[in-house]
Structure 1
Amino acid sequence: MFQLKSINPKKLNSPLVSIVIPTYNRPGHLVRAIESALRQTYENIEIIVVDDCSDLDLDQFREEFPAVKLYKNSDNRGACFSRNRGLEIASGDYINFLDDDDELYPDKIALQIQKFQRSADPNLGMVTCHLEDYRSGNKQIVRNRVNGDVYRLLLSKFAIAGTESMLFKRSVFDEVGGFDENLQSSQEYDLFLRVSELFTVDYVDKILSRKNRSSDQISLNFDKKMAGAKYLFKKHDERYRQIGFLFWLKMRLKLRGLICRFYIGKWFGEKAYRLTIRD
């Protein structure tokens, strides 16, 4: 049985970090995610699991993980609702979202807190890291090299990898709100975009998290990916126009390209879809 390490009250500069794990009917994955959170070398953490009204036996999990705070939604509302509920419950000065099929490596929180504390930038709102991505069945290294004011870059890039890779100051959510519960995919990109509009970002130059493959992962649900892309472009369309007509046109063409790729995935399968992805 895993238990949280005791907190040393004499240890200075150790703000509380809340790790929020949304889950739905994946007990095996959830155990792995919780254990990765419990293995953090940073001691001052709380772990919050929000079950989206699944068949999960919470009493069994309470016995196995007594230090973890477990909550169940009264009805099925989706992962974004569960993340936002966990955010409301969280007591931490910093927030790390962790999907139940993903993992944190032991030094992740410690190194990202260190990055925050050593920064001279009072407007730093989020620190990310590199990650290992196994969703294709093979290991891929994703390097999130983002630093400073990256809002314009992210608007045009339309990509950011790994909800679990990000550590946020709790206070940023007072300004930007939580996850958009109307989005069916790319929720982390939308959140990162809104954060980067008001705050600077930074990264730890190490691989500190892991995305795992699961049978129901949204990254392979091409209908949801299409719906999410269309919603995102509509949501941020005014921003594109403010930058200029050519930028707006570029983004419209990018949307068409994304939709074509998603149709290829829907009609011909995952392997065909991945052939359309360029580094």
Structure 2
Amino acid sequence: MQGAPALLLASDWVPGRSPAGFLVAEKFDGVRAFWDGRQLRTRSGQVLGAPAWFLERLPADQPLDGELWLGHGRFDDTSALLRRQRVDDAAWRTLRYQLFELPDAPGPFAERAELLRALVQRLGWAQLQAAEQRRIGDAAALQARLAEVVQAGGEGLMLHRADAPYVTGRSELLYKLKPQQDAEATVVGYTAGRGRHAGRVGALRVRDDTGREFLLGSGLSDAQREDPPPVGALVTYTHRGETSRGLPRFATFLRVRDEP
């Protein structure tokens, strides 16, 4: 596996804040994929076994950042498709590559978004799409847009500073807004189960990118307790803010996120 590509990562949006100065797009619940001009790679650096015809339609001289997406509510289907040992050609023809960034391109994000839209239009391939970017005037209109997206089956919104240069790492230039907060952490160990969970995993011990360690027990299925995500796996969990000690409140396991 190659090294993980350097990508821009989102922070959580503060409710009530004005979205003025940001471009707002739907948050697609797919598998993030970075195109380096030769290969499609996941956030962790795994090379995706895409069909040759799919890769040949991507620009050889322009890196791309986006989500491979089958549609609303189909993350598990997308993940399963990308994990298959044998390429499912027919299924790949239903997959869309929803693009939201032109890595290393000059200028502010608003200009890069226009360049991305023009690139997709020029290539004229229905499976390659540029995420629609909107300017939204105030907090009330932002909540209305969030409700509209969620009602249609979407996951939430992404807010990117219109004047932001291209940077990588976790940044306050990019935010995510969802009805329920979520975040990611890496599995570093396990605790033993008790009672009806005796003999299997009771909770995952995880560490986030700030170095905080905590347990994720709620949300694990019996099958996941029998065969838990391996140490080193990146998992997504939901929470409701933070405790007085600065740890996620009501942290609940959602799914393994790192690999498709």
TM-score range, shorter chain: under 0.3
**Higher-RCO chain (CA-CA 8 Å, sequence separation at least 6):** 2
What's the TM-score once normalised by structure 2's chain length? 0.27
Structure with greater strand share of residues: 2
Structure with greater helix share of residues: 1
What's the TM-score once normalised by structure 1's chain length? 0.25
